[in-house]
Amino acid sequence: MAIEERDPLTGHKTTGHEWNGIKELNTPVPRAVYFFLIATTLFSLIYWIFMPAVPLGYTYTKGILGYDERDVIRRKLERAALEQAPWRAAIEKQGFDAIEADGDLMQKLREAGRALFGGNCAVCHGIDAGGNAGFPNLAAGVLNWGDSPEAIQETIRVGINSRHPDTRTAQMPAFGKEGMLPRADVKAVITYVRDIGKSGSDHAAMTQPKGLEIFQNNCAACHGDDARGQVDLGAPNLTDASWLYGGDLQTIHDTVWHGRQGRMPSWENRLGPVDIKILATYLHDLRKER
Ligand code: HEC
Ligand code: HEC
């Protein structure tokens, strides 16, 4: 047993061990640490008794309060569904005109539509529905498949070039790659198409007579004699400033050379009919504001 010794500098006792002349102080654990140790142990014991705590294979100790987070969420969802039921029923029953004329209903619809759009559509079309290259702007400009709420609803339901049996089909042929037009003709027609977009069809027809002729013979069947597009074929209007892929010469060349078959998924199996109707009305409403 070492002799008790007090360190003159700190006033603490030493443990009596000594390493090469260095002695260890015998400093006690502070009281606060004991206090917190006891308090937290007590807390966890009480928590184990009242709340779900210890896993036991496939089950767990449930605690005498019987608290279950899944129950809490289930109840919250039920309450939300109950709150939504009346206005969702109104949307299901009424026509688009009646819905859009009902200010209170539209307020709820805009909120729900924004959430549905953010969760399902924004990855491709952008959070503001403004689109990206290859993903159309839904908030402004002309829609290839029609911009009535009924047309938008149908596009969302069946998709474009999707696996749905009623899918809308958009086939822009690969005129260059498939050898449907010689290289010189592709060049002439793309210059004509670019110039319609830039300076209008009359001017383009005057400066690009060869391009106009090739257009009338190969493109007008789908895009229309006046190049204003055809909604029932999903063939875009080539005379306006809105482009799905791009209106510069290089992009128009890629479109005409390689063809385009943009794909929009069908939502019939992923969203209910009321959600699809909400989205169609939401987009139609968004477009009116611009
Ligand atoms: C069979 C019908 C059909 C014919 C014929 C056709 N197109 Fe198209 N075109 C389409 C469709 C449908 C789209 C939209 C493709 C998509 O949605 O992915 C399209 C898209 C385009 C685009 C892209 C527009 C944009 O917004 O980016 C250009 C440019 C174009 N066509 C030019 C032409 C030219 C030039 C010709 C003739 C050489 C032609 N098309 C012939 C159906 C056709
Ligand atoms: C995986 C990407 C993707 C997602 C997700 C997506 N879309 Fe699309 N959508 C497209 C593409 C690509 C097109 C253009 C297809 C084509 O080339 O014609 C399109 C076209 C559309 C059109 C037709 C535009 C026109 O010119 O007529 C509407 C309306 C539309 N989408 C709405 C929606 C809504 C609403 C959602 C969410 C429920 C959604 N989309 C989700 C890719 C997507």
d(CA 55, CA 164) in angstroms, rounded, equals: 46
Q: Is 222 annotated as a binding residue?
A: yes
For residues 197, 251, 141, 198, the Cα torsion angle rounded to the nearest 10 degrees is: -20
Identify whether 264 is part of a domain: no
Identify whether 225 is part of a domain: yes
Q: Is the CB of 123 inside a 6 Å radius of any atom of ligand 2? A: yes
SS3 call for 130: coil
pLDDT of residue 2: 53
Identify whether 65 is part of a domain: no
The residue assigned the tokens 């709340």 is: 51
Closest ligand relative to 213 C-alpha: 1
- Length of the chain, please? 290
Beta strands in the chain (DSSP E): 14-19, 22-25, 55-56, 59-60
Q: How many CA atoms lie within 13 A of 5 on its CB side?
A: 14
Identify whether 266 is part of a domain: no
Contact 263, 244 (CB under 8 A): no
Q: What is the Å distance from ligand 2's center to 180 Cα?
A: 29
Contact 223, 235 (CB under 8 A): yes
Identify whether 250 is part of a domain: yes
Structural domains counted in the chain: 3
pLDDT of residue 231: 92
Intervals of the chain under pLDDT 50: 1
Task: Give the CATH number for residue 100.
Answer: 1.10.760.10
Identify whether 125 is part of a domain: yes
**What's the whole-model pTM score?**
0.80
The residue assigned the tokens 């493109």 is: 219
Q: Which residues, 6+ apart, have CB-to-CB distance to 175 below 8 Å?
A: 181, 186, 218, 256, 257, 259
Pocket residues for ligand 1 (CB within 6 Å)?
A: 170-173, 175, 189, 193, 218-219, 221-223, 233-236, 238, 243-246, 252, 255-256, 260-262
Q: Is the CB of 170 inside a 6 Å radius of any atom of ligand 2? A: yes
Q: Which domain holds residue 251?
A: 183-258
Q: Is the CB of 264 inside a 6 Å radius of any atom of ligand 2? A: yes
Pocket probe mutation, ligand 1, options 137, 180, 214, 222, max atoms within 8 Å of Cβ: 222
Q: Are residues 53 and 125 in the same domain?
A: no
Closest ligand relative to 271 C-alpha: 2
User: What is the token pair recorded at 251?
Assistant: 């992009």
Q: Are residues 91 and 46 in the same domain?
A: no
Q: Are residues 153 and 191 in the same domain?
A: no
Identify whether 232 is part of a domain: yes
Identify whether 223 is part of a domain: yes
Q: What pLDDT digit, counting tens, does each position of 117-149 carry?
A: 999 999 999 999 999 888 999 998 889 999 899
Q: Are residues 87 and 158 in the same domain?
A: yes
